[in-house]
Structure 1
């Protein structure tokens, strides 16, 4: 039997890990390895991660229940240098022998390698965590502080360390909370009259309420609330340091009497400090310097303008329309000072994508007014960018794409941004291995033109409905592309007018007033060259009938003739025959996928995202989309009394237009359940219903199942519809249900792992498909929901996450009813997914 080097290394690694599995191997005599922490609160075991995370001393980290890093650390020699030196100098003959075999330099390199590898084991592993009485006391103090800050003022905490003879120990913590303290009376003592008046106006928003259990967090939140209220109500000098709380718990029967105290403003003048009442400040004037540079600070502006009481200055000729800039300014002369106006102005100016780091400066005047100076430094009017990408898919073995772009800022003097980009790609299909084919046989070229206006571009004033505080913007886009490949080849033209605004910080609204898409298939005769499974099915029926003397049908002439003969009754097949129905279904799919598409739609997209920062792991995302297509063309067709074509459909520019209603609901929820542990779910439901001028949904608007971001036990487009065991290359339908759940946890530093379950499928509903296996027929069709499960490994690079998931078919609805569970649950039939970032 021969063993290659990789097998030998694997055997040595396993042997080393087994040898190191003695977890107390590096525990000194008289010390004990911490193996378990247990917290009992009022004699009940506390399992919540939030409480357990308070402990100052935790056991060695584990993966899959084993302290792998401790085992790795145990492989290292704590005194490797002394061991190597003793072996060499205690036996000079051994050193001379190895130096003669390896040479002196090679022997020194070997010793350095041994030393470096030993250090790598130490740094990669984790030293044994020993029970430490001081850290145990710190853990007691942290538990006590937590419960005290949450209202249990009389809490008692103790601990017991249980040491074992095998150098292991566990620590048990005992918490007796006793009765909590409750907030009772609330009073206030506010020195400045204007602050007192403002405070009383919003008492109903206070976090400190009678009957609530005391929590320190309530008082911290109340400080922030009061400060935010004052600074948004003209109190320019106010800060959290002016707010105090005096609490009385003496002889109150576990009640807390709270007095809110707000002192006067502190003023420092030279070496003396005195206090004066707060005053409300107003904005006296707003000055915008539209082209500020550091070298201009001592120069006088050459151009100026005034709009809506705001002064605009320029050191060169004014390049911006005054209205365009003042529309982004929320600080208004004559209004009281408000902190949020400054934040909103920063945000709006940044979203113009026209200026570098805007600077807003407040200058206090003697008459309790403020002068606001806004310094803007324009970006260069023109900008160039270039991107490139290498890709691979189930169609092409390799693809290369590039996209040069030009950005033009302040195109019409209103901070508009015009973006022009072109793109091109070449690829090699899997058929290019044939010597007769060109290696790069897939090509696509196209161009995009986008104009973004930092306000709503609409014939009527929308300020009352969508004020500028919602940061509205308008986007015109137009694009065209031409694709030549191994498929049908396409030319595509799209155009859209979109409005975007933010009603709240966590809500985004996107309204497409119109979105036009025209798709022209350049090579429909190659349909059966792309959908080879349909071609094989058609050939099987032809051979059964001996239609072409046992020879394969040539496409498109013979295939089209055969389909026409079957459906016209020129063969022995009747509509009740399975083969007839197969041919009919192939023909319907061929017509739908090869016809040109004209889609004129209007849509509304609502997104609510509670994720506040990039590192927030507990959040919710809800998305709702409604899309209506073809209604405008339908009205035009009736008013113009247009004639229908032979298929009973109206046409615009000789193309039947699509008419449908489409609804999508998408819900994502993440819970942080521990340190670097997240449980995430996603639920999706969507349906597109054809009506009027359509009896089916265009391929580009239909749903599919499977893939790296869907049911990962099936490849993209391979699942469904329903229980149909379809051999089509691209399976799609107009109704979709999907559910995913995933448990994510950290393994080591940037390496994370996940366990997941995906469920879902697609069906046809309310369209022209009549196959019972593919259509949705109420709740009983839910038995055809496919279930996949598996695990994955992810590496977090910081800016992107590389993902590798393995999905196993757990419940396959395409199999017979009694044979669906765990039929192909093995690595041979698993689906291996490589993706970027998390699936949801």
Structure 2
């Protein structure tokens, strides 16, 4: 009865709050200036009996997007930003809370006096005629009620014109033959509707094609599209011609003559100073460098033009992008000038402004997690951008941190870590073979050496060593690869306390944390994303990982064939396993300020030969700020396994598994100013590949779907431009740790109960989006 009363009370409070908000939203019009009306938006109706309903609705949506001004933004049918603007009132000074609310959070009213109906009508008429609906009629009207006005536009187009024929330049110019040979790639297709934007895009396409054939001075304005609509039934003939007044140099293909490079160019000094001294000739390049900053081969790998090459836009942009991606220049400028010695040739000049060669970066981080740990970390990095005069990046870092549990079950078992890392990155592939990439992104070879000491007070300490050698390269802006040919990790424990050894006797799984580990083998990572294409309605992100450990070593030592005799290297058993993981994300843009984001993670690891299980550091975990947010980090699973009470009293659960399935989806929308909101649903779990008698219910079986955890919640994200602060409040809807048949806990939800809130509401605070 109390639970029912709490639900009714909460419902009444929500309804009262909503009603109050609605009343306040309705009061927006009383603040309008005398004689003014609030403009609430415009609508467009297309009257056309030929267009299909879907096409007509799509055209109406396009046309409504052209109307100006835009009305005040709405949320749930109300205008909260306008309400905040009115509530704040006129500030007395240009600072303070009132000024911030009115001018940063709020939004001034859009008045009907700002709306020009005739101008909007002409915009709609021009747009539809440019789409082939010639002789379109547009009428405009408005409707006023309760100091609010809407604008209504009626568009009556004629039948849309289609393309009957397309004729390309057929004169004797060399460029006309190039244009003709590329006609199969034309954007102008017979039978398609006439569209002025497509004609403009076709001119851009032709210009881009000519730029690849040496026509440096050509531009799209030199192409004229003659449209004839006098013949045929609502059809047009399009003829593309080169304008008669096109300059001679635009009709000429140019080659590359001399190439000059200024690696120490200053934006403040006259560049002519550099031309009088320290001139070095290397292959086709004339290098003017007062300090011999780089080895000349750096330019040979970066500049794709050679003397005598026909100019082309691809190599032009490729060279500039590779100079930028070297990471050593703050400014890159390129000029082409007519050659003084060769007719129809260009001299190329590259002006490069250096970034500081050496620099120190200090990072201080504050962090918290759902296991009640709060801590800090300090990183000090010393960097050299040109270590061997070949644009190599050398980095040396030292770091230290501490995590303290201010509340929870660990009772002062704080975590401290200290370590160092050094790495060297070459802007090229270092291989026995000569491999040269032709991507705009510079391929890199990287070697890393890292040591970390981690101390968990009252329990144990771990020494961790890692070294790797591998390659990083991007095919293009969407595809990226990372291959570590060598990746070796060695973990050794020390200072293990008797208290921890006693706990291992109760739970043997705790012993895996302090086992010596030797992991080595190749790893490969592939990423594909098109999320940078902001105009796409659907975008995706995919990351795939492959981790192979001890494969060749197992063949050499015979570990693959004799599992009873564990093989060691330096008296340490080496790990053998295959691990794969994929992370797929989909983003559906619902509007300019909202989207639906979804993620699917699938991972599995298989230990064999010299290993019975995956190393602890390579196993999967679930729960926490970037996983299933209704469960604390590492507390979920594996399967339906429940950690015994005697162990939960001593440790924060640290569950891991060999298999992971996880799905998340969340609706994201901008609320106001820098604040964004989200509603999310998470589901998934981890499992062991093989049954463990010490962990009943942890193994993967045909009933794995019954062991899915489900959580839901809401969140706020504060976009501070330099970072995004995220707060997510989640609660479980399904708990696999409960007996079968009792795992759905939706009926137990009771926001009015303090004990329920304490046990079920999980607040996650993090930086950045979860995916």
| TM-score range normalised by the length of the shorter chain | 0.7 to 0.9
Which blocks of at least 5 consecutive residues in structure 1 are unaligned? 1-10, 81-111, 268-274, 527-553, 564-582
Tell me the equivalent position of 2:7. Answer: none
Q: 1:93-134: per-residue Cα shift (whole Å, max 9, x none)?
A: xxxxxxxxxxxxxxxxxxx69999877775454444444595
Tell me the equivalent position of 1:64. Answer: 76
Question: Are residues 1:153 and 2:77 paired?
Answer: no
Distance 2:625 2:478 in 1: 27
Tell me the equivalent position of 1:108. Answer: none
Relative distance call for 1:715 and 1:51 in structure 2 (3 A) is farther
- Of 661, 681, 684, 1:757 maps to 681
* Aligned-pair Cα RMSD in Å: 3.7
Tell me the equivalent position of 1:543. Answer: none
Question: Are residues 1:349 and 2:317 paired?
Answer: no
Tell me the equivalent position of 1:635. Answer: 555
Q: Give how far 1:323 is off.
A: 1.8
Distance 1:337 1:114 in 2: 55
Q: Give how far 1:456 is off.
A: 0.3
Question: Are residues 1:801 and 2:724 paired?
Answer: yes
Count of aligned pairs between the two proteins: 728
Question: Are residues 1:707 and 2:613 paired?
Answer: no
Distance 2:397 2:664 in 1: 37
- Of 220, 224, 235, 1:244 maps to 224
- Of 618, 621, 625, 2:545 maps to 625
Tell me the equivalent position of 1:490. Answer: 462
Which blocks of at least 5 consecutive residues in structure 2 are unaligned? 1-15, 752-756
Q: 1:281-340: per-residue Cα shift (whole Å, max 9, x none)?
A: 111122323444536733556555544433334334x35332233111112111101222
Tell me the equivalent position of 1:6. Answer: none
Question: Are residues 1:451 and 2:424 paired?
Answer: yes
| Equivalences for residues 522-533 of structure 1 within 5 A | 522-525=494-497
Distance 1:796 1:454 in 2: 34
Tell me the equivalent position of 1:600. Answer: 520
Question: Are residues 1:782 and 2:705 paired?
Answer: yes
SS at match of 2:75: coil
Relative distance call for 1:134 and 1:713 in structure 2 (3 A) is same
8 Å contact 1:40–1:174 — kept in the other structure? yes
Tell me the equivalent position of 2:338. Answer: 364
8 Å contact 2:710–2:732 — kept in the other structure? yes
- Of 704, 726, 741, 2:665 maps to 741
Distance 2:356 2:96 in 1: 51
Distance 2:30 2:560 in 1: 88
Tell me the equivalent position of 2:484. Answer: 512
Q: Give how far 1:365 is off.
A: 1.8
Q: Give how far 1:159 is off.
A: 4.7
Question: Are residues 1:839 and 2:770 paired?
Answer: yes
8 Å contact 2:692–2:699 — kept in the other structure? no
Tell me the equivalent position of 1:685. Answer: 602
- With the length of structure 1 as denominator, give the TM-score of the two structures: 0.78
Tell me the equivalent position of 1:722. Answer: 639
Relative distance call for 1:173 and 1:17 in structure 2 (3 A) is closer
Q: 1:183-230: per-residue Cα shift (whole Å, max 9, x none)?
A: 220102366712112212322222112222233332232222222211
Q: 1:701-749: per-residue Cα shift (whole Å, max 9, x none)?
A: 1222222222222222122223334466112212222222222222212
SS at match of 2:302: coil
Relative distance call for 1:468 and 1:171 in structure 2 (3 A) is closer
Tell me the equivalent position of 1:474. Answer: 445
8 Å contact 1:743–1:755 — kept in the other structure? yes
Tell me the equivalent position of 1:569. Answer: none
Distance 2:140 2:82 in 1: 26
8 Å contact 1:808–1:824 — kept in the other structure? no
Q: 1:403-448: per-residue Cα shift (whole Å, max 9, x none)?
A: 222222332232222111111224444489999x79xx64322111
Distance 1:400 1:616 in 2: 39
Tell me the equivalent position of 1:326. Answer: 300
Q: 1:761-797: per-residue Cα shift (whole Å, max 9, x none)?
A: 222225767967323224x422332222222112211
Relative distance call for 1:150 and 1:782 in structure 2 (3 A) is farther
Tell me the equivalent position of 2:350. Answer: 374
Question: Are residues 1:26 and 2:31 paired?
Answer: yes
Question: Are residues 1:501 and 2:473 paired?
Answer: yes
Q: Give how far 1:806 is off.
A: 1.5
Relative distance call for 1:396 and 1:281 in structure 2 (3 A) is same
Question: Are residues 1:649 and 2:566 paired?
Answer: yes
8 Å contact 2:255–2:309 — kept in the other structure? yes
Q: 1:451-506: per-residue Cα shift (whole Å, max 9, x none)?
A: 1111100011223xx44655211111111111123353211111111211222232
- Select the structure of larger CA radius of gyration: 1
SS at match of 2:553: helix
8 Å contact 2:371–2:408 — kept in the other structure? no
Relative distance call for 1:277 and 1:517 in structure 2 (3 A) is closer
Distance 2:529 2:522 in 1: 23
8 Å contact 1:360–1:374 — kept in the other structure? yes
SS at match of 1:227: helix
Distance 2:544 2:449 in 1: 25
Relative distance call for 1:783 and 1:204 in structure 2 (3 A) is farther
8 Å contact 1:162–1:170 — kept in the other structure? yes
8 Å contact 1:617–1:678 — kept in the other structure? no
Relative distance call for 1:187 and 1:25 in structure 2 (3 A) is same
- Of 391, 414, 417, 2:390 maps to 414
8 Å contact 1:191–1:263 — kept in the other structure? no
| Equivalences for residues 209-288 of structure 1 within 5 A | 209-263=189-243, 266-267=246-247, 275=248, 278-288=251-261
SS at match of 1:457: coil
Report 1 or 2 for greater relative contact order, CA contacts < 8 Å, sequence distance ≥ 6: 2
Q: Give how far 1:16 is off.
A: 9.7
- With the length of structure 2 as denominator, give the TM-score of the two structures: 0.85
Distance 1:236 1:769 in 2: 74
Q: Give how far 1:379 is off.
A: 4.1
Q: Give how far 1:35 is off.
A: 4.7
